[in-house]
Amino acid sequence: MDLLKQKFNEKAIALRNEISDILKEYGDLKVDEVKLKQVYGGARGIKSMVWETSELDPIKGIRFRGYSIPELRDALPKGKDGKEPRPEGLFWLMLVGEIPTEDEVDWLTQEWIKRSKVPEHTFKVLDSLPPNTHPMTQFTVAISAMQSESCFSQRYDEGLSKADFWDPTYEDTMNLIARLPRVAAYIYRRSFFNGDHIQPDTSLDWAGNFAHMLGFENDDFKNLMRLYMVIHADHEGGNASAHTTHLIGSTLSDAYLSLAGGMNALAGPLHGLANQEVIRWIFNMLDALGTTKPTKEEIANYVNSTLEAGQVIPGYGHAVLREPDPRFIAQKRFAEEYIKGDDIVEVVWKVFDVVPGILQELGKVKNPWPNVDAHSGALLVHYGLKEFNFYTVLFGVSRTLGVLSALCWARALGFPLERPKSVTTTWVKQFLAKQKEAIVKG
């Protein structure tokens, strides 16, 4: 058993015992109450799930095992030039709760290289799709196609004890993460470069090699990919891609089927697809205004026209956050450090000056601040990755790190089938009638 797997198993056994003790003593304690507006309102804020790998605070933003993004940038082992953190380190941290050493991260890079061979039929399945199929559709099709390789499925068929569910889930997780950059790069090159594919460079780290296979050799772009893959990796368990992966996983569907579902959720414009929508919205605005250097007044007018058309401003708002997203700030910091005077980046910053005030004035938007998707496109465009509808695939490769480490935990802790209760509006009316009756009776 490899060191990471062994560590994970030890930690999982300890936590499982701890949880069992907690539940024995406090299992009936109330942790939340549910209001009718939450029942109708997308279950916002209801505590109903355990997610060990990260936690989202409405004000402070994401914490990966307690670490903020700037703290991770300092603490995690970095790429060769020592600038940006390697996603391998974040995966290690999410899985076992410890900051890895340089050697441990190097081991993980090598392990993922060893596991990175994509089954040949995956490429055939992709090649059978029209090249203009949305890259996210291609991505989920490819993930589903690779399910034929699932260790969990095979071992479950052979008769697997519940106590061992975590073991092949770890194997599936490691294999999937190792293979996805190649799959994503294949989709990119077949969709936009006539299938002119680039073979992996095994001397590079996971994110560096991903950049290389996409066709980008610029060192700063490789650093952007390291940062990008770190900041998009996890956002606690309630967001749609994480929750979908978790829900599907709770039926004992394997990591491939669970992840494919999670990625379908990420492909929605209110979630991960917002990154393509943001940059499209910005370019449409620049086209409409006939300039790449709009004034704040011009931007405000365009924002108002979007709102008047009954559309949302993509990249703004969040179901949990109530301050500017630290992932937005991390990308702004990157741009300030690596990119000087880029028109589109400047536009993103001007939009940041203008939009929150306008959304606040609407009086209904709970969070007027930018989220992660408001900045990412401008950075990618700067380095020449201009195929907007590929952007969510990048998000998806990164998000896999979080949702699959969480799936390993769900299996190790023996979480049950997820099955919340639904009600009908007839039930709600009867419930309200009973409440009123009780009030009248006093």
CB 371 within 8 A of CB 359: no
Rounded to the nearest 10°, the torsion over CA 253, 254, 256, 262 is: 50
C-alpha 153: how far from chain center: 24
Does position 317 interact with ligand CMX (CB under 6 A)? The reply is yes
CB 420 within 8 A of CB 247: no
Distance CA 78, CA 431 (A): 56
The separation between the first and the last C-alpha atoms of the chain, rounded to the nearest angstrom, is 65
Output 100 or 272, the one with its CB closest to ligand CMX. 272
Which parts of 204-243 interact with ligand CMX (CB under 6 A)?
239
Nearest distance from C-beta of residue 321 to ligand CMX, angstroms: 9
Output 270 or 428, the one with its CB closest to ligand CMX. 270
Does position 46 interact with ligand CMX (CB under 6 A)? The reply is no
Nearest distance from C-beta of residue 300 to ligand CMX, angstroms: 14
Distance CA 131, CA 215 (A): 18
Nearest distance from C-beta of residue 312 to ligand CMX, angstroms: 4
Distance CA 312, CA 309 (A): 9
Nearest distance from C-beta of residue 277 to ligand CMX, angstroms: 7
Nearest distance from C-beta of residue 310 to ligand CMX, angstroms: 9
Region near ligand CMX per CB under 6 A, out of 158-166, 316-324, 327-335, 422-430: 316-324
Output 108 or 380, the one with its CB closest to ligand CMX. 380
Does position 367 interact with ligand CMX (CB under 6 A)? The reply is yes
- Choosing from 221, 256, 316, 388, the residue that interacts with ligand CMX (CB under 6 A) is 316
Token digits for 122? 């995956």
- Choosing from 226, 318, 375, 382, the residue that interacts with ligand CMX (CB under 6 A) is 318
Distance CA 59, CA 16 (A): 30
C-alpha closest to that of 144 among 267, 249, 240, 259: 259
Identify residue 402 by its one-letter amino acid code.
G
CB 396 within 8 A of CB 266: yes
Which parts of 60-119 interact with ligand CMX (CB under 6 A)?
none
Identify residue 187 by its one-letter amino acid code.
I
Does position 270 interact with ligand CMX (CB under 6 A)? The reply is yes
Does position 421 interact with ligand CMX (CB under 6 A)? The reply is no
- Choosing from 61, 87, 261, 315, the residue that interacts with ligand CMX (CB under 6 A) is 315
At residue 369, φ and ψ (nearest 5 deg) are -90, 165
Region near ligand CMX per CB under 6 A, out of 78-86, 365-373, 417-425, 430-438: 365-373
- Choosing from 231, 373, 375, 394, the residue that interacts with ligand CMX (CB under 6 A) is 373
CB 411 within 8 A of CB 169: yes
Token digits for 251? 């039926």
Output 80 or 366, the one with its CB closest to ligand CMX. 366
Distance CA 68, CA 60 (A): 8
Output 42 or 384, the one with its CB closest to ligand CMX. 42
Identify residue 312 by its one-letter amino acid code.
V
Provide the angle, in degrees to the nearest 10, between the axes of the packed helices 206-214 and 102-114.
Answer: 50
Does position 312 interact with ligand CMX (CB under 6 A)? The reply is yes
Write the binding mask 333 to 362 for ligand CMX: x where contact by CB under 6 A, - elsewhere.
--------------------------x---
Output 314 or 326, the one with its CB closest to ligand CMX. 314
Output 30 or 364, the one with its CB closest to ligand CMX. 364
At residue 240, φ and ψ (nearest 5 deg) are -60, -40
Q: Which residue is nearest to ligand CMX (CB)?
A: 317
Which parts of 3-32 interact with ligand CMX (CB under 6 A)?
none
Distance CA 314, CA 161 (A): 46
List, as one string, the DSSP characters of 166-202. HHHHHHHHHHHHHHHHHHHHHHHHHHHSTT------T
Region near ligand CMX per CB under 6 A, out of 254-262, 308-316, 328-336, 431-439: 308-316
Token digits for 398? 């990164």
Specify the 3-state DSSP secondary structure of 67: strand
List active site positions. Answer: 271, 318, 373
Output 123 or 316, the one with its CB closest to ligand CMX. 316
Does position 271 interact with ligand CMX (CB under 6 A)? The reply is yes
Token digits for 194? 């006539």
Does position 313 interact with ligand CMX (CB under 6 A)? The reply is yes
Length of the chain counted residue by residue: 442
Output 172 or 325, the one with its CB closest to ligand CMX. 325
Q: Which residues bind ligand CMX (CB under 6 A)?
A: 239, 270-272, 274, 312-319, 359, 364-367, 371-373
